[in-house]
Chains A and B, each alone.
Chain A
Amino acid sequence: MTAFYTMRQITLTFLGEPRTKEAEHAQETPWTMTTPLVILSFFAMTYGWVGIPEDFMGLHLRPSWFHEFVGSTLAEHPEALAFNWIPLLTSLVVALGGLFVGWLVYRNINSPSEDKLQIGFLKNKYYFDEIYDYIFVKPAIWFSEVLVSQWMDKGFIDGILHIFGPATQGLGAFIRNKFDLPVINRFFGDGSADVTYWFGGKLRAVQTGRIQQYLMFALVIFIAVGAALYFFLLA
């Protein structure tokens, strides 16, 4: 598969006719890009060779450099594996075969609509991102923006706090309007004034203007007070 899609890539990009204007005008990359590419490709090609076994293809070569290098660092220096034709042939066939098939399939394809491998499922990365979004991201956002910020903090907790202000206002108004004003102010305060007024009105009847009656009252009171003082002081 790796060989297949690599060749697909190479075929579509580098082989065939240019498909767009930009492609027509594509230039060689500057040396700043090419040089690293050259170095990298050199090593890409050759570095694998450090691991060829001693008896590669029946030849007598040095012991595998890589094996010696890593093996000597291990507690037990493992035995070198002998050369085997099967992995060599298998990978050659698969790799070259894959390359060939890739070229075969894509050498004439000029647009995505002709490419039968443009399967939605693959193209959309198995929809993993969408699944993540659905399972994790959207719930988290909902949890943050709606549940925590609005319902819990602003709605519930602040809602409780916001009760205190109106509650105090209500209690204060209640005390003032249902007790302080009617009971203490009106009932006792103004009420006592009314009582006094009423009393005074009734008492006015005593003001007869007749001296005899006044003298009578004076005598009675004098006797009463005198008796009280007598008993109070001397008792």
Chain B
Amino acid sequence: MNFISTHLLSTILFFPMLSAVVMMFLPKDENKLFRWFALVASLVPFALTLVAWFQFKSSQPGFQFEETYIWYQAIGSSLHLGVDGLSLTMVLLTTFLTPLAILASFSISDRVKPYMMLFLFLETGMLGVFMALDLLIFFVFWEVGLVPMYFLINQWGSANKDYASLKFMIYTMGGSLGLLLAIQMIGVLFGTYDLLTVYQRWNSLEPGSILLGMSVHTVKSIAFWAFAIAFAIKVPIWPFHTWLPDAHTEAPTAGSMLLAGVLLKLGAYGFLRLVLPLYPVEAKMFAGALALLATAAIVFGAFGSFGQTDFKRLVAYSSVNHMGFVVLGIAAAAYSIGTQDATIALNGAILQMFNHGLSAAGMFFLVGVIYERTHTRNLEEFGGLFPLVPVYGGILIFTSMASLGLPGLNGFVSEFLVVRGAFPVLIVYTVISMLGLLFTGAYILKGIKKVLHGPMNEHWAHGEHKLTEINFREIMVMVPLMALILWIGIYPAWILDVINKAVVMLF
């Protein structure tokens, strides 16, 4: 027990990976064993995260549960872990969603063992990014997370999986090339990758001095863009978003849940943890551009979503749309750092990260539910299914409303905070993004309408294609999501408080 309490973060971090290694030695063809093993293995980090959550002192500045281990001493990198309010929220999201994703994957029967192992490896990869307090460790986990996701899409995906998986991987790797180079440069400059040290020394660099043959300002600008582009591709920010519809659509259901639920947040987290603190001046300078792109993401994401006939692709574009709000909040904060508007915007952005994780995961899962039964995602082939699957319909409407930002559910709280924070600072962009918000409603309702309402498509009503209702396991996947969605919508203080204190202390 004492070991766990002193090594809380590393236990949470490595438990999934170690479980995956153990899984390697389990006997073959025991699919049920694999599923339940993986599920339990993913619930343990969740339980530990709850422990961390309740032990976390939100008023205490700095990082908590810090651990440092020797890793690559020769170049000045150590396994330095720690969380603050921002990262703990993300860790909670990750450890919360992974068991649900695994539970959602119980219906997979093709090569269950490697599938589950990949999910566990993926979980470690995602958690590592959020917990990293060392730039090299951050990068390491950032890249490592790509590999399981590539294989999940490539091996268990749908028709266009080869294209989508390679696009996803190479695009993200190409983007993180700049990140790699910039991190190398920082390591060379300071002889260490420890984030806290880098924060200090980076910001105390004399403005006039020369680094590597260039002025500090040039170095910082280039490094800023290197970091920004890498994260921009991940979030994704328009126009670097086109990998997302393909990857999300082709990935297996649970893969999409984690892709949209967590992986996108890695990019936004990078902005908050690295870009804003390290480059406040450059961020402010380019905040307008960032806001423009965020607005484009909101508007074009909404229009793109509205124009889809594939249900999953519609939800995929909705991720572009919702993450646009996150970036809008970040841009507003970058522009007006230190003011109350910035704090509000950041609160909204971070909460939106969490909320979108929940609602997007839910939406993708529900699409998966209907896909498993009908083997089509084409909206035109559905119609009037509400009487056939009323429980499913109800859950779908609930989750859709969360995605839409209905007051009373979580989406509204975060979107409102973002808009409220951005409005005084970036009024034009905020106003334009309202157009996007209008079409958010449009595409959500389009989805609901095409699937549930209208004349019933008789094809699904009788015989072998008769639609079966959502089953107990599937409901169990949705219930925790819906509960959190409702709770945050009605009483967000429990999470907003943690986020707010972290934001106020950081910026």
- Interface residues, chain A, with chain B CB atoms under 8 Å away: 140-141, 143-149, 152-154, 157-158, 161
Contact = CB atoms under 8 A, between A and B. Distances in A.
A158 B308 contact: no
B306 A153 contact: no
17 contacts: A140-B303, A141-B307, A144-B303, A144-B306, A144-B439, A145-B307, A148-B300, A149-B303, A149-B308, A152-B300, A153-B242, A153-B304, A154-B242, A157-B242, A158-B242, A161-B167, A161-B171
Contacts of B390: none
A162 to B, nearest CB: 9
Contacts of B303: 140, 143-144, 147-149
B442 A140 contact: yes
B239 interface: yes
A147 B241 CA distance: 16
A146 B303 CA distance: 10
Contact of A149 (B171, B307, B439): B307
A144 B245 CA distance: 14
A157 B240 CA distance: 8
Contacts of A145: 306-307
Contacts, number: 40
Q: Report whether over half of chain A's contact residues are helix, strand or loop; otherwise say mixed.
A: helix
A139 B245 CA distance: 23
Given A141-B306, A149-B304, 9 more contacts: A143-B307, A148-B300, A148-B307, A149-B303, A152-B300, A153-B241, A153-B300, A157-B239, A157-B241
A140 to B, nearest CB: 7
A140 B239 contact: no
Nearest to B301: A148
A145 B310 CA distance: 12
A158 to B, nearest CB: 5
Interface residues of B, number: 15
Contacts of B239: 157
Contacts of A147: 303
Nearest to B238: A157
Contacts of A149: 303-304, 307-308
A140 B300 contact: no
B245 A153 contact: yes
Contacts of A154: 242
Interface string B384-410: 000000000000000000000000000
Contacts of A144: 303-307, 439
Nearest to A154: B242
Most chain A CB within 10 A, of B167, B245, B307, is at: B307
A140 B438 CA distance: 11
B94 to A, nearest CB: 29
Contacts of A158: 242
Given A143-B303, A144-B306, A161 B439 contact: no
B403 to A, nearest CB: 17
Most chain B CB within 10 A, of A141, A143, A144, is at: A144
Interface in B241-255: 241-242, 245
7 smallest CB-CB distances across A and B, nearest first, come from: A144-B307, A145-B307, A144-B306, A149-B307, A144-B303, A148-B303, A148-B304
Nearest to A149: B307
A204 B404 CA distance: 90
A140 B167 CA distance: 29
A148 B313 CA distance: 13
Contacts of B308: 149
B317 to A, nearest CB: 8
A161 B245 CA distance: 14
A152 B297 CA distance: 12
Nearest to A145: B307
A146 B307 contact: yes
Contacts of A153: 241-242, 245, 300, 304
A144 B442 CA distance: 11
A56 B242 CA distance: 75
A149 B305 CA distance: 8
A154 B241 CA distance: 11
Contacts of A148: 300, 303-304, 307
B306 A140 contact: yes
A153 B239 CA distance: 8
A17 B308 CA distance: 53
Contacts of A146: 307
Interface string B276-301: 00000000000000000000000010
Contacts of A143: 303, 307
A34 B241 CA distance: 59
B434 to A, nearest CB: 15
Nearest to B174: A164
A161 B242 contact: yes
Nearest to B299: A148
A143 to B, nearest CB: 6
A141 B241 CA distance: 21
Contacts of B305: 144
B14 to A, nearest CB: 36
A216 B379 CA distance: 98
Nearest to A142: B307
A147 B299 CA distance: 13
Contacts of B167: 161
B459 to A, nearest CB: 24
Interface string B425-461: 0000000000000010010000000000000000000
Contacts of A157: 239, 241-242
A135 to B, nearest CB: 15
Nearest to B317: A149
Interface string B34-61: 0000000000000000000000000000
Contacts of B171: 161
Nearest to A144: B307
Interface string B303-326: 111111000000000000000000
Most chain A CB within 10 A, of B305, B306, B439, is at: B306
Nearest to A162: B167
A38 B482 CA distance: 43
B184 to A, nearest CB: 23
A233 to B, nearest CB: 47
Most chain B CB within 10 A, of A153, A154, A161, is at: A153
A154 B313 CA distance: 13
Contacts of B306: 140-141, 144-145
Nearest to B313: A149
Nearest to A150: B307
Contacts of B245: 153
Given A148-B300, A148-B307, A161-B167, A140 B242 contact: no
Interface string B99-143: 000000000000000000000000000000000000000000000
B308 to A, nearest CB: 7
Nearest to A143: B303
